[in-house]
Structure 1
Amino acid sequence: MLKIVTLLVLYFNNFGESTVLYAAVIYRHGDRTPVDTYPTDPWRNESLWPVKFGELTNIGKMQHYELGKWLRRRYVNLISEEFDPSTVYVRSTDVDRTLMSAQANLAGMYPPTAKSMWNQDIPWQPIPVHTIPENNDEVLAMKRKCKPYIEEKHKYINSKSYKERLSKYNDLMKYLTVNTLKKINDYEDIVSIYTTLKIETLYNFTLPPWTRKVFPEAMRDPACYSFQTATGTALMTRLMIGPLMQQIVNHMYDAVQEKPNHIKLSIYSGHDFTIGNILNGLGVYDGNCPEYTSTVFLELIGNGSDHYIRLSYRNSARIVEPYVLSLPNCGKLCPLQQFTKLYDNIISVDWEKECREGSPVSWFVEFYFILLLFLGILYAVSGILILKRRDKKLLRQSLASTQKRLFHQ
């Protein structure tokens, strides 16, 4: 009975800061210009836009600044007023708009105090944002090469069920191909056009007449379905979001064990792709495209010796309260051990071992093989030279012996 009461208290206190022992915050960047347009786009001239293509706009900066202030209020009892690098970790993909979003967000979270004010003319302080090149990043960018993933995705997109679902949009893809002069073959192609048209609408640009037939309604479903395709199978999900989820769960257990200087707040600045992968991988994606600053919250809730995971989500560019998601077979407050058991297929990933191609391990093996080959060639060449020198020596000795015999004769 006591446990039921505890669960009810936690349930109705969905946003009680004092119960949060650790939080992972994963958000999408703010407002940006189109990353890519299409050949017939009347607004494809970059000079028509406030910043270069794919860059964060001033609107996007303000969106994340406001979100940062809101995060400060949400986690006021979890983090200190001054930035503490031992308890707060911020990571971004290696892309301008996500790095800038993280910095704008932190400006809202950590306005300088009297202690940290370093320049009276700039009410801002630098906070570290960590990143690595996308092609080396399996944790957040999720773009590091993994041969088993590539093979599994190839099987997935060539499966009967995938092709049958995609075939529903054949007429749409043909229509888009004709009108954009860009070959549209798949969900990712559709979402690319959909996103461009959506941004142009936000900036009050008049769309071409042909778009009225398909945008936004006819394009919305296939465009938003694209966020499910990167985690289309259990193996794809394991290899795609496993490293990030493993990192987050490890931080949770550090918090449970009260390890000294454990991370209390992890912030990840990513893309709609990142948000879609996490939600779909955990089985809670609702089919709606992630908006600017959409945010996933994975929070560890403590109550005495009991620990629960609460997954919340806000999908809006406006500052709104997130809503708590119900995890499949676990509910809105999922016991930590049950969570790790349910998602063991994801959390237990050994990415380096399972994705040897392109990993430091395989690089070392390849380097070692090349080194052995080089040493083998060097040994062979040395052997040949030694043999040649020995043959020359024997030849000289033979000639000298012959000359000696002839002289004595």
Structure 2
Amino acid sequence: MVNLQRSSLNVQLIKINLISSLLLIHLLIFSHAGQLINSYKDNVPAGYRLWSVAIAHRHGDRTPVRSFPTDTYRDPTFWPDGWGQLTSVGKERMFILGEFFARYYGDFWPDNIREFYAQSSDADRCLESAYLVLAGAFRPTGPWVWSENLNWVPIAVHTVPRPRDKLLNPSVYCPNAEKEFKSIRQSVEYQDCEKKYSKLYPMLSFVTGEKIKSMEKALMIYGTLKCEKENNLTLPLWATDLVLENLKEMHNLKYHFRYLTKPVQRIRTGPFFKDLSSRFSPEADFDRKKSYSSLKPKKWLLFSNLLSQRSKSTRSSTASNLDRKKVFFYSTHDSMIAAILSSLKSFDKQNPDYGASVIFELYRSNQNENQQLISVYYLKDSYSENLIKLKLPFCQQSTVCEFTTFMEYISTLIPKNWYKECGETMKQSDW
């Protein structure tokens, strides 16, 4: 009798486990399909509507940027795509990232490619990532279908040569930024870290064939090992879990120190925030740059007055006719994502992963067009599809910030003359 009861109980437990497993599979399938993913509407403040979105994202998974003398995989034949190039995994990640944004923003998402604006760092991996994100984010319908065999439409991606790109390349030449970082390296906090990890340097120098006497040099080794591991290559025996953990700790501190002070933040993120503020300003309802380029000064003034008058009563209806941009994409590097977060006083000392994104949402009041709010989100893990709402210290730790308060803060990050503040002797016209 006891055995029969135990047998019956076991059968019931098996049924319960089976049902639980099926439910879990069902949830995973539908979650991946986007049916259980939260909508942007859940975060829009009451009485407001989403007006614009700006997304700065890191590129996808890549090959190593460099090697070291004793590296087994230093031969270029191991990397047929080349150094620092997007891998197949990275391409898939970025396409999926674009699909996620399209699902998440649902009915807000443009069905017109002219409502997107995309800019990229002039690195192959960033440019390719930008095109892949856009491909996932926009599937052509109606007049945008141009081929029966290819469900894709080209969307322009703008770029600037890397030596001139102060917007999305935070390593662009800048003497004063390097002077400031030199001062940071002399700080007690930095020197304490150097002392902590210095015991690793002799060993790393011996096994790699590199002269390693600083965290900056050690980090180059970690970057290579990390990429090799991600590409399923066997690491050398000396790359133990303990060694890799120490290197990872240093790696996570890299951008904490790089963008620690206000002077560096102004130089490295000022151009980005200047661009963002121009995109989010009320005047950006219209593609002014395009419209004004063909107007003479007197006509420009008349056109400006006309827009000002219309914006009071018919801004929404006229905006689409004048090619208003709703979504702005910035494809960049982990260093830029870290710099943006540091400038917003929200960096968690964790190196931004592939596809990590900082998302700015601009809301407008349903009652007053001039009343606006901003929220900032961090997509730390692109596969998680989990947007983290940032509590901004300059907005009293709130996740929703008054537009004027946000703009006042980022104005402190924008140099009046970037070249002068950078210590750059060449004028912009000399580039």
TM-score, normalised to structure 2, is 0.75
Q: Is contact 2:63-2:86 (8 Å) kept?
A: yes
Per-residue deviation at 1:158? 3.1
Q: Is contact 1:241-1:277 (8 Å) kept?
A: yes
Per-residue deviation at 1:285? 0.8
Could you say which residue in structure 2 is the equivalent of 1:385? none
Cα distance in 1 for residues equivalent to 2:193 and 2:120: 34
Write the letter of the residue equivalent to 2:43. N
Could you say which residue in structure 2 is the equivalent of 1:162? 190
Of 29, 53, 56, 2:83 maps to 53
Of 129, 132, 139, 1:104 maps to 132
Cα distance in 2 for residues equivalent to 1:362 and 1:11: 42
Is 2:366 the partner of 1:337? no
Cα distance in 2 for residues equivalent to 1:215 and 1:164: 19
Per-residue deviation at 1:11? 11
Distance change >3 Å, CA 226–CA 349, structure 1 → 2:
farther
Q: Tell me the alpha carbon deviations over residues 266-323 of structure 1, each in whole angstroms, 9 at most, x when there is no partner.
A: 1000111111111112111111111111111011122344322211111224151211
Per-residue deviation at 1:119? 2.8
Q: Where do residues 6-405 of structure 1 align in structure 2 (5 Å cutoff)?
A: 13-14=42-43, 19-49=49-79, 51-84=81-114, 87-212=115-240, 214-254=242-282, 261-304=323-366, 305=368, 306-330=371-395, 331-347=398-414, 349-355=416-422, 357-361=424-428, 363=430
Per-residue deviation at 1:26? 0.6
Cα distance in 2 for residues equivalent to 1:205 and 1:146: 37
Which stretch shows the higher mean deviation, 42-51 or 227-236?
42-51
Q: Tell me the alpha carbon deviations over residues 102-155 of structure 1, each in whole angstroms, 9 at most, x when there is no partner.
A: 111111112222422223232222111111111101111133333332332232
Cα distance in 1 for residues equivalent to 2:241 and 2:139: 48
Cα distance in 2 for residues equivalent to 1:315 and 1:193: 24
SS in 2 for 1:309: strand
Per-residue deviation at 1:41? 1.6
Q: Is contact 1:238-1:349 (8 Å) kept?
A: no
Cα distance in 2 for residues equivalent to 1:146 and 1:113: 45
SS in 1 for 2:211: coil
Q: Is contact 1:14-1:324 (8 Å) kept?
A: no
Per-residue deviation at 1:226? 0.6
Cα distance in 1 for residues equivalent to 2:190 and 2:365: 44
Which stretch shows the higher mean deviation, 69-78 or 218-227?
69-78
Could you say which residue in structure 1 is the equivalent of 2:288? none
Distance change >3 Å, CA 361–CA 46, structure 1 → 2:
closer
Per-residue deviation at 1:221? 1.6
Identity of aligned residues (%): 31
Q: Is contact 1:221-1:287 (8 Å) kept?
A: no
Distance change >3 Å, CA 149–CA 36, structure 1 → 2:
same
Cα distance in 2 for residues equivalent to 1:188 and 1:103: 32
Cα distance in 1 for residues equivalent to 2:258 and 2:61: 23
Per-residue deviation at 1:50? 5.6
The runs of 5 or more residues in structure 2 that have no matched partner are: 1-38, 286-310
Which stretch shows the higher mean deviation, 325-334 or 130-139?
325-334
Cα distance in 1 for residues equivalent to 2:426 and 2:269: 17
Distance change >3 Å, CA 171–CA 98, structure 1 → 2:
same
Write the letter of the residue equivalent to 2:69. P
Per-residue deviation at 1:66? 1.0
Higher alpha-carbon Rg: 1
Per-residue deviation at 1:35? 1.1
Write the letter of the residue equivalent to 2:206. V
Q: Is contact 1:136-1:143 (8 Å) kept?
A: no
SS in 2 for 1:235: helix
**Matched length:** 353
SS in 1 for 2:51: strand
Cα distance in 1 for residues equivalent to 2:335 and 2:105: 26
Cα distance in 2 for residues equivalent to 1:112 and 1:362: 39
Write the letter of the residue equivalent to 2:407. T
Cα distance in 1 for residues equivalent to 2:326 and 2:426: 29
Cα distance in 1 for residues equivalent to 2:353 and 2:343: 18
- CA RMSD in angstroms comes to 2.7
